[in-house]
Structure 1
């Protein structure tokens, strides 16, 4: 194996939730690996930093506003990517939400449905659109669904989020089997990462220490530590990898 197998040169990648945190890190890393990248978020202003970082490093990127709960938006994202760079080779489904933390008896159905719609159904919508286009052009493609350590274990006080991430893991396995060998589908499951998304739990001294006590690595991850695995899963180095839930959690799920 050579390092060239990890290159994404000549490929086109769409990264949803690409304006901050893990999504921003993945978009930048894929551009560094040679891909032309289309980061997606609901606000164009929010995408500016991601695109600027890619351009400053000499990479190619075009921001695209889109909401994963809107099928018309999703179609437009892929139309934009194809118009700007050509057929999309890689899809990273990173867009997600987690507005609830507490006992499930205090959870209203509307919040449950919103979390499932963004995290699980949004991932499905984007993946279906991508796979349809890959099949129509008789090509090959790679999907990386961003799950969570909550895809493989239960996360206390996060019932809807955990359910949505388990759904992503199950969907990944089934679609990988259904669509092989044309489309590889994998799930990247991060543990706790230093982002705005986890700021609430990390900012609570009691919760933070409890979390760190359960992580053998004794720390939270940097977004770039997740991005490297995303590049690998999209590359030829992972050409025989499909249907996997790849956990990057500092050992949390191991104990």
Structure 2
């Protein structure tokens, strides 16, 4: 369908060097977009940029710490210089470090703040930095949250708070930026990535997740890229302020 065609558009993907972000960069490129994957690792970004170019699209190498507004501005300016104005921002950068896991009284202020700064504050900063381009070009923001943004998860309080916040931010930003810019969210379930490697290798926990999931498996990163491409494209031209859940039915129970 032509509505899914992103030819002539420039997309930025934060956390774009691995896992879900890498798959999203590939998916956007296959839909026709020029894609700038961003992360703090120049080497990893260069690898994904080359993979975008192998798919026949333009890319560029830029690094970015989403918790630093000046760093974000510099990276987005580099993307504009290389690829042109920004049409799509995918806020995928996210963390859930070991220090932020545990009962509420076990999580330090620093660990709580770090997770919020990356997962929620980073998305807000990146969207604001791209705002002028997005409004001029009728652009789209896609925030990558989690099922942890819809339900509670024990021992993951900073992560759950940040992802609930991202779902709420999506709604409020969609209201303020309509009708020029659409803002939506994807909430993945359990996906096979570096972040879930330990979980997937724990046979008891992995089995309990699969048992609760009607599709009886973890997702592959590419299965999250499809919903993001949809929301970024004209196929979702009447969709804003919503959260698309891609969890194999995990939250349906």
Distance in 2 of aligned mates of 1:252 and 1:20:
24
Distance in 2 of aligned mates of 1:52 and 1:144:
23
Structure 1 residue aligned with 2:57:
59
SS of the aligned residue for 1:220 comes to coil
SS of the aligned residue for 2:130 comes to helix
Structure 2 residue aligned with 1:103:
103
Moved more, 97-106 or 217-226: 97-106
Equivalent residues in 2 for 1:188-227 (5 A)? 188-227=186-225
- Following superposition, the deviation at residue 133 of structure 1 comes to 3.6
Q: TM-score, normalised by structure 1?
A: 0.95
Q: TM-score, normalised by structure 2?
A: 0.96
RMSD in angstroms over aligned alpha carbons? 1.1
SS of the aligned residue for 1:145 comes to strand
- Following superposition, the deviation at residue 220 of structure 1 comes to 0.2
Answer whether contact 2:147 2:188 (CA < 8 A) is retained.
yes
Moved more, 211-220 or 101-110: 101-110
- Following superposition, the deviation at residue 105 of structure 1 comes to 2.2
- Following superposition, the deviation at residue 235 of structure 1 comes to 0.4
Answer whether contact 2:88 2:134 (CA < 8 A) is retained.
no
Structure 1 residue aligned with 2:116:
116
Equivalent residues in 2 for 1:14-93 (5 A)? 14-93=12-91
Moved more, 232-241 or 102-111: 102-111
Match of 1:142 among 124, 140, 143: 140
- Following superposition, the deviation at residue 103 of structure 1 comes to 2.0
* 1:123-156 deviation line (CA, Å, top 9, x unaligned): 1111111123434xx3311000000011111122
Structure 2 residue aligned with 1:165:
163
Distance in 2 of aligned mates of 1:180 and 1:65:
30
Structure 2 residue aligned with 1:174:
172
Number of residue-to-residue matches in the alignment:
251
SS of the aligned residue for 1:14 comes to strand
Structure 1 residue aligned with 2:129:
129
Structure 2 residue aligned with 1:154:
152
Distance in 1 of aligned mates of 2:215 and 2:105:
33
Match of 2:4 among 6, 26, 31: 6
